[in-house]
Amino acid sequence: MVLWYDEPAPDTNEGWETRSLPIGNGAMGATVFGGVQAERLQFNEKTLWTGGPGVSDYNFGNWSAPRPGALAAVRQRIITEGQVRPEDVLATLGLPSDTPRHRRFGAYQSFGDLRMTFPGQGAAAEYRRELDISRGLAKVSYVAGGVRYTREYFATAADGVIVARLSADRPGKITMDTRIQVPANRTRAVTAADGRISVKGALASNGLRYETQAQVSSQGGTRADRADGSVSVAGANSVTVVLAAGTDYANDYPAYRGDDPHQRVSQLVDSAARKGFLGLLAGHVRDYLALFSRMSLGLGGRMPNAPTDDVLAGYGKDPAADRALEELFFAYGRYLLIASSRPGSLPANLQGVWNNLEAPPWQSDYHLNINVQMNYFPADTTNLAETAGPFYDYVDSLREPGRVTAREMYGVQQGWTAHHASNIYGWTGAWDHTAYFFPESGAWLSEQLYDHYRFTLDKQYLAAKAYPVMKETAQFWLEFLQTDPRDGKLVALPSRSPEIGPSTAGASMSQQILWLLFTDVREAAGILGDTAFAAKASDVLGKLDPGLRIGSWGQLQEWKTDIDNPNETHRHVSHMFAVHPGKQISPRRTPALAEAAKVSLNARTDAGTGWSKAWKINFWARLLDGDRAHKLLADQLKTSTLPNLWDTHPPFQIDGNFGATSGVTEMLLQSHLGVIDILPALPAAWPDGNVDGLRARGDVTVGITWRAGKPTEIRLTPGQGGEIVVHSGMLGSQVRVYQDGTQLRHTTDGDELRFIPRNGADIRVVAEG
Ligand code: FUC
């Protein structure tokens, strides 16, 4: 569980993107370059964004003046002409292209660089730079001038800081200068006193106040503060640096400002510095392991004794090495989620928490038409539910600005909406690009809040968090849905399959998302006793077009009319939503639709950007084709993965890491159809293996051991009472079910096994004889 390299990352943009190693505690992230004479830790804090309130004409993406009749006119044109160009929808409902959208929307910012230089240090031998994801620790070590130098780095959520320790195997050998550099787009006051470097100021864009502090503590030797704000150490045995950063951002509509960060940042650094390196390390490892060690996956891999970039480059040559890389890549997705999404901060953005630029790709924002959703695909399944807390809070926080957007842009009186991308300042309105029109994003996001309930069955969470969001989303759609004059069905209008094709009525993905929204809302309303709203949802479901059609070439139609082009290879394959994360299409329950989905996926080819390949792993797993899912995973490793194992679109975009980890999970365990499906899509490449700690809907934790492609033992830990239904090829033969050392009564029917646990103790299902 280690990524390692025999050289530093070059101190360039490309070096950052492809080779630096990420650490993070959710709120903060840093990347380690590991240069011998000069170390660079580029660092981030989630709330440092340009744009938003503070930019004079910030308007949340809403129209600057009412456009009476605009929506009705677009709708009428689509009904009359069948389809219109997305450019025309943009011209009528979007932002004019001369709007300075980027200035107002803003972008996620690099906070700065912690630079450490080591004067007089010569050439290094035995160099190694590593990231140990089994403990959340980065390390650089080498020998220079007969001395072994070691640098250790971690970002701890337990203490809210980033920690560096520099040591040597001989006393008095650490001599270094430390400074913090920040990008040009802000004011700055830089000071150093008592080993504490402090940089503070405000972003030029929006006046957002920021502050970062680093405490340099030396053991032995001498330490001096410099007038230029750097701190130098000479002849120390070791040096510890703790770094914190913050802004006066608060996720609080409409001003999005809170307290000045000075006190918070000072307290974090003061208290961390008092704890010292070993105390911080112990706290970090405890906190990290509490999440990371909840699950494990073994595929029988054998990692070659070679740097990770070489292992990646050699992928596809040796099956045992391939499996080792796949195990590592899977676990890395979990590592990255823990590092970039923890309670108390914002969700993981397009780059998680890591960005080195003032103008990052796609603003390093929250794209709501697949990307942020994909970030959280693996949260529940891989037993990291807590990491999704910031995501649910963020979605919840979009409601307030989203109500204004729904009212001002569409005349919808109840409910909220957001479109295809948002920032940290409640941008729920339009955009100056044809991709923007995607008011279904709120419905998709709501589905994820409800899916989390399915894993936990936590009614308090459902009542307090998920249901209010879902219901208000459904309220928007109650008003926004239109009756299609062609067949009297309720449809989204306008409706576009994300980023491809014309604007129409009732594109498949829109309808599939809305089918899921109203199905979930009906179920949730039933559980919570909101019978009036359950009835409303039922009523909509009775009239809603479900978005499922098989077209002239056997394909699953992407639009309501049969206009799919069999030669289209666009990376978005949104009409597969019903396969994943939706549940309308499955080989066992709707075989004809599942075949049609395969026809469409084959036509689109296996090519695509990083996240596109990652999503396709999930699709093929849900279509129960493990070999094809594995082929997509292999394609992703070969063509969409950087030497530091970050996913690349290109450029670096983290969603593909999370999507791939989710895809592996879907190959091993599925539970979206109310049954715990064991090894539903196991590829031939993984004949033997072991997994523990996976989570299934219904609050069950699952472990599986398999040999020669067949499960030999299934382990289930139920969190609740009630019947458990397991689907597995193992059940072809007789099985025994044990709990507390004695057998549990069960029934089998074909590949399905049913039983009621006596209590919460572990259950073992084994083949008889
Ligand atoms: C959508 C996708 C792109 C990219 C961007 C962040 O626009 O179509 O591929 O993922 O989001």
Pocket probe for ligand 1: among 499, 500, 569, 652, the residue whose CB has the most ligand atoms within 8 Å is 499
State how beta strands 676-678 and 724-727 pair. Answer: parallel
DSSP run (H or E) holding 44: strand 38-45
128-168 tens-digit pLDDT? 999 999 999 999 999 999 999 999 999 999 999 999 999 99
* Residues 130/139, Cβ–Cβ less than 8 Å: yes
User: Assign residue 361 a region: left if phi > 0, alpha if psi is -120 to 50, beta otherwise?
Assistant: beta
Which H or E run includes 331? helix 319-340
Q: How far apart are CA 171 and CA 690, in angstroms?
A: 46
Q: How far is the CA of 365 from the centre of ligand 1 (A)?
A: 11
For residue 676, CA distances in Å to 107, 420, 715, 746 come to: 42, 33, 12, 15
pTM score: 0.98
696 CB under 6 A from ligand 1? no
Write down the pLDDT at residue 343: 98
Cα 420 to middle of ligand 1, angstroms: 10
Q: Could you give the CA distance from residue 375 to residue 654 in angstroms, rounded to a whole number?
A: 7
Which DSSP letter does residue 579 get?
T
Helix, strand and coil content of the chain, in percent to the nearest 5, comes to 35, 25, 40
Q: Which atom of ligand 1 is nearest to the CA of 361?
A: 6
Q: Is 25 within 8 Å of 244 (Cβ atoms)?
A: no
Ligand 1 centroid to residue 570 C-alpha, Å: 12
Q: What does each C-alpha distance from 229 to 188, 328, 765 come to in angstroms? A: 11, 41, 64
- Residue in the structure block whose two tokens are 């995973």: 633
H helices, E strands: number in the chain: 20, 32
Q: In what order do the strands lie in the sheet with 763-767?
A: 296-298, 689-696, 700-707, 710-718, 763-767, 735-739, 742-743
Beta strands in 585-734 (DSSP E): 669-670, 676-678, 689-696, 700-707, 710-718, 724-727
CB-CB contact of 599 with 556 (8 Å): yes
**Best residue for ligand 1 mutational test, from 374, 611, 648, 657 (most atoms within 8 Å of Cβ):** 611
> How high does pLDDT run on average in the chain?
97
Ligand 1 centroid to Cα of residue 701, in Å, is: 34
Q: Which residues lie below 8 Å from residue 753, measured CB to CB, with a gap of 6+? A: 725, 726, 727, 728, 731, 735, 737, 746, 747, 765
Ligand 1 near 419 CB (within 6 A): no
Which atom of ligand 1 is found nearest the CA of 572?
Answer: 8
CA distance 68 to 80: 20
Give per-residue pLDDT as tens, 722-759: 999 999 977 666 899 999 889 999 999 989 999 999 99
- C-alpha 458/C-alpha 464 separation (Å) is 10
**Residue 675 pLDDT:** 97
Q: Report how far ligand 1's centroid is from the alpha carbon of 367 (Å).
A: 7
Q: How far apart are CA 295 and CA 406, in angstroms?
A: 42
The reply to whether ligand 1 has any atom less than 6 angstroms from the CB of 647 is no
Whether residue 214 has its Cβ less than 6 Å from ligand 1: no
**Ligand 1: does its nearest atom lie under 6 Å from the Cβ of 613?**
no
Among 213, 230, 216, CA closest to 179:
230
The pLDDT score that the predictor gives to residue 732 is: 66
Query: In the chain, which residues have pLDDT < 50?
Result: none
Ligand 1 pocket member 367 (CB < 6 A)? yes
